[in-house]
Each structure stands twice: as C-alpha cells, then as structure tokens.
Amino acid sequence: MNEKYQNKYRIPSARLTNWDYASNAPYFVTICAKNRKHYFGDIAACQMHRSSIGQLVELFWHEIPIHFPFVILDAFIVMPNHIHGIIIIDKNGDNGGNGLNGDTRDTGDTVETPNLGVSTTNPERCNSSAQTDAATQKWKSGTLGVILNQFKRICTINARKTDPDFGWQSRFYDHIIRNDASFNRIRNYILTNPQNWKNDKFYG
C-alpha cells in the first residue's frame, strides 16, 4: 500500500477545511452497533469469534468495491459491537486527491449516514420513496457517507433475518489518513484490536 500511497493521497495540513468526502484519500472509519450491543460476536483468548451477523458484516464489507469500483479496501476488523476499516477512495486521479469544497468540517468527527430507503437504526421504520429520493439528492454520489450507508443498509436487511432488533448507530466516526506513518499506525491498531479489547473505548 505504501508505494501506492506515496505522493498520491498527500494531505497538506493537520486541520482541513472545506473537505469533499467524495475525494481521493484514505479514510479510517469506525461504525458501532446500536447501543453497542454485541451483535457481531465475542473476544476469547485475544481472538475475535464472529457470530452469523458478524460473518455477514465481514462479507458485505469486502463486497463494497463491487458496488463502488473506485474504492480500495485495506485493513479491516469486526469487533463484538463495532467495526474498524480503512477505505481508500481512488477515482483515477479525479480531484487530484484534493477534496476542497464548500463545507467546513474538522476530521475525526462523527458523520450522519444518509438514509436511502431502510432505517439502519430502527427496525420499525422504513422510508417512503419520496423520502428516499430526497435523501439521494441531498447526498452526493460517491461520497464516504453514501458508501457506508449502502454497506450498513445491506447488512441491516440481512441481519434482521437473524435478529429483528438489529441496528447500527446512525453516525460513524471518520478520520482522513494524512501520511504513511499515520496509515501504518492505524493499520496496526485495526489488526491488533482484538488483543487490546479490554482497553478499547468501545469495550463493554
């Protein structure tokens, strides 16, 4: 990954304004289950043992590039009540890796995922086609939020066949990865997450 990363996804500053989340860049994302319930399995002997829902989540994560061919996936882990992953948006040099647009946002914040037809949090709620159309128009195609919404949506539809109460938190955590050192540190954090579960802020 480092060879591909070099000089391609360079981020110029520690704090970015006007970032367009459809832009070429590596993103570290965390998505939690509703109420941080252990839907995805359990940790034993520093190893993650995925439930059937956890296995679905991993399957659908790895299918993201099928639906979004400009996405490259790197490190990923399913934990008992959340997932971590690195998503790289690479649109053949579109935007030159520079995501400046009209929206000011700090990084490392939480972002609402767009609701495009199924509630990923409330099993009783489904949107009308008019609401779906409005949400689709509001969210720019190919953004990180749309990619993650579609991932959450397909997971939700299938997970509720096993547990009708399944849901995600409506927000996800994102962080734009700025350089090779940060990329390697985050990748290591993801891959060693099961060994450090009891010290994880999502533990419980």
Q: Write out pLDDT tens, residues 129-164.
A: 333 333 444 467 789 999 999 999 999 999 999 999
Please check whether residue 147 lies inside any domain of the structure.
no
C-beta separation of 115 from 127 below 8 A: yes
Q: What per-residue confidence (pLDDT) applies to 74?
A: 97
- Sheet architecture: strand order including 82-89: 71-78, 82-89, 25-33, 168-176, 110-112
Strand partners, 73: 87
Per-chain mean pLDDT for the chain: 76
- Residue 64: CATH number of its domain: 3.30.70
Rounded CA-CA distance 103/155 in Å is 29
Please check whether residue 155 lies inside any domain of the structure.
no
Please check whether residue 57 lies inside any domain of the structure.
yes
User: pLDDT tens, 6-57?
Assistant: 445 444 433 355 678 888 999 999 999 999 999 999 999 999 999 999 999 9
Give me the domain span that covers residue 13: 2-113+169-193
> Does pTM surpass 0.75?
no
Please check whether residue 129 lies inside any domain of the structure.
no
